[in-house]
A and B are shown apart, each in its own frame.
Chain A
């Protein structure tokens, strides 16, 4: 059997049904073998789209997503997508073609050190040098990607290895792989579990931060049980959205830089913080020296390296969130009787009342009538339509990065795990659209909506062709403010309103663009029309794009970077002032300056010194 065929057999053995990719010279044998296979291959329009789609597929389904790109530029185009998956612990297998082994190291056509390039952005990677190693390597790659703390695994596959014949009989796919250096700890240490249970019973002002790990380990049921059993309020990180129903009385919403006031206050005032499957990124903690200053901290994480990395913890528990929570609950029930009586510590009532009143006095205003539309209104109408169409348990939203993402994170209530898909750790603009493709392929029965900014949308706009050609019915909602809104907000807040390269002009007309791709599209400028258009889009079984023209001066409340969580500031609502110079002006400036300096037109050009400034 040829190596490429064996590779595809090995993928099928892992239960892979769909792969996302883009062919090329170094992948010709691979695609030739695909010809005879039942694997579904989605041809994206850019390898980055393939990687994000595989990632979206993984996040929506919990299964491993697979993407493929050719050697050289195909591999480098995958990089952003793989790094995005790595930052959010998403199980993705990235396959790259490679030049034949005899040419490796010779700077051959489209040769690149893919192994070296991917090394720092994957959980592990392999270069297969003999076809007989294919079955065991693919097995190992999937094992590594999906177990423990999941993450992307990269396989570099030279062309001659794809072509080489080998005897699959004597090199069968092994049922188990031998990885002597890889043994994730799943069960929490009993002593630590007991300590945690004791701390939970003693706490008067406890709060839970649920991170992405809760979603990944399918621990939402256990989280709900623990919270209800002991009356512990729950806030989530961005990645943790969906791990706890946000309409639950104990839900405080998201915590951190763009967190809600109740969540940020609860964390700042609690005496016990139970952090589950979260890594205390700077977007969550703000200033670490004043983070949760009165709290004893329990940190549950499957990755021991996350514990104590950013925050000192009192009770570390290494293990899988689901198993650890189960054990903690059992331990609590054992010490309090199976009815759980006595777990609702009486002294907590004041705490819960306090947070309840914070919640009540901080219900965000969303029903704006303004033109241009306020984004909050769109989020509200989206939630209404989901409810009216009874889509609650078959609805997935993907977001892009920027204000659109944070408006959704802050205002949009999520109820179920794996239904809010967003690039957290890397914050990759251009993620939302291809991730929606992956999510829809993973869960074809669900309605998939991609909420995106105009900037991020244009970063992978080519995937409209993928959506159109396959007829993938995703609904694209552009929060069109004609600005790089998030950066614009920071410049207005922290750089004295010196708006610099954050404004777009009138181009393009997104409705015409969509129609050019053969996708139904509408522009919405009046808040009264939002609901009807959303309904129409969600009821249609075709791809649909809605261009919501929104107020560019609208911002988000936020904690300044490195600030204290309670110090939430309001955005400066500044209108766009930046002027985009025309090419004619630029040309005049270029030619004028060179003449002044007495240089010839073709003479050396002086480069401006870049100004250092913080970007989002």
Chain B
């Protein structure tokens, strides 16, 4: 019994090295796992707020309506009621925060209109489309249709 113990004792050494490594790992781990990890699930809880903090670029139609009462009203009565301001004018959150700092794009009518209204048999039938080459060629769309309320002037 005594002898067997003496002849096995060397096995303790690699085991000790292994355990020391394991212990070190557990200590380091406890120290560097991000504090909010596991707050909601298996991820860093703080990331939710980080993603929320990203800047908004499209202000949303309701924001525009706050200042541009007339355009909103005109558009609201016309066929473009469902088309949001920024669908045509591009992202304008900076403009909405401080109108002087940035002017939203004032799109050139014809290309803009064709982007939605160009005749294409893949588009749903209910959607009004024109073949821009045949529909009043050589004229700007806005000469006859108002962009905000596209029924004829």
* A, B in one complex: no
